Amino acid sequence: MDLLTHILARYLYKEDVQDIARSLGFPTSGSKDEIVDQIASCSWFRPEEALEFLNVRELRQLCRELRLSSTGTRDELFERVLDAINLEHSERFGRPKLDLSSLVRTIPDKSGESTTNPPRQHPESTGPWAIAGIIATVTLGITLYALAALFGIWWASLVTIVLTVVVVTSLMASSHRWIPAIAARIRTDEG
């Protein structure tokens, strides 16, 4: 059993594993072991998502199991375990696990602390629709702007520009996880 599978099976509750599976678009029914196997075999799953469920005590225990230093802050322990997962992956598959952390935005959680756990979305379900929506919105916006300008309705032109910018911005925000997830899948499939 690899380290990631061990963490998912031993340290997370079934409900936590189901939450992760749901965010990846997998079925959430079945035994915990079946769900863990689906998650562990997913090429676009980020181990950080599983580690976010662990508290300091659990991270320390995991570090002890791995014979790593178990002292330091939660962030230090988190990084230590993540490094161990990535090291195991690179030894097993001959290449480092793709690190998308620089592409993930930091969001403050309820306590005001920053977390790199963005809102979970199924990568294929939001991205293509968001891209199609952006294209349709821009096309419609240009058409309406041209019609308003043609008939000399300056305020309609201004409203069209504002609405187009608002809709495109919100659609781009909904696709922020899709692009890195698909890029990771493509790189994994190529390797």
| Residue 104 resides in a domain | no
Q: What is the DSSP string of the chain?
A: --HHHHHHHHHS-HHHHHHHHHHHT----S-HHHHHHHHHT-TT--HHHHHTT--HHHHHHHHHHTT----S-HHHHHHHHHHHHHHHHHHHHSSPPP--GGGSPPEE-TTS-EES-PPP--HHHHHHHHHHHHHHHHHHHHHHHHHHHHTT-HHHHHHHHHHHHHHHHHHHHHTTTHHHHHHHHHHHHH-
| Residue 49 resides in a domain | yes
Same domain? For 14 and 72 the reply is yes
| Residue 154 resides in a domain | yes
pLDDT category at 29 given cuts 50, 70, 90 is very high
Boundary residue ending a domain (63, 97, 131):
97
The answer, yes or no, to whether residue 48 has pLDDT greater than 70, is yes
| Residue 106 resides in a domain | no
pTM, to two decimals: 0.49
| Residue 111 resides in a domain | no
The answer, yes or no, to whether residue 80 has pLDDT greater than 60, is yes
Tens of pLDDT, residue by residue over 92-126, are 655 444 444 443 444 444 444 444 444 444 444 44
What is the predicted pLDDT for the residue at 114?
Answer: 46
| Residue 105 resides in a domain | no
Same domain? For 58 and 9 the reply is yes
Domain containing 184: what range? 123-190
| Residue 103 resides in a domain | no
Same domain? For 8 and 92 the reply is yes
Contacts of 165 (CB under 8 A, 6+ apart): none
The rounded distance, in Å, linking the Cα atoms of 185 and 75 is: 27
Q: Which of 118, 3, 132, 130 is nearest to 65 (CA)?
A: 3
The answer, yes or no, to whether residue 40 has pLDDT greater than 50, is yes
pLDDT category at 20 given cuts 50, 70, 90 is very high
Same domain? For 77 and 40 the reply is yes
Same domain? For 89 and 14 the reply is yes
Same domain? For 71 and 131 the reply is no
What are the φ/ψ torsions at residue 135 (nearest 5 degrees)? -60, -45
The answer, yes or no, to whether residue 42 has pLDDT greater than 80, is yes
Query: Residue 21 CB: number of other CB atoms within 10 A?
Result: 22
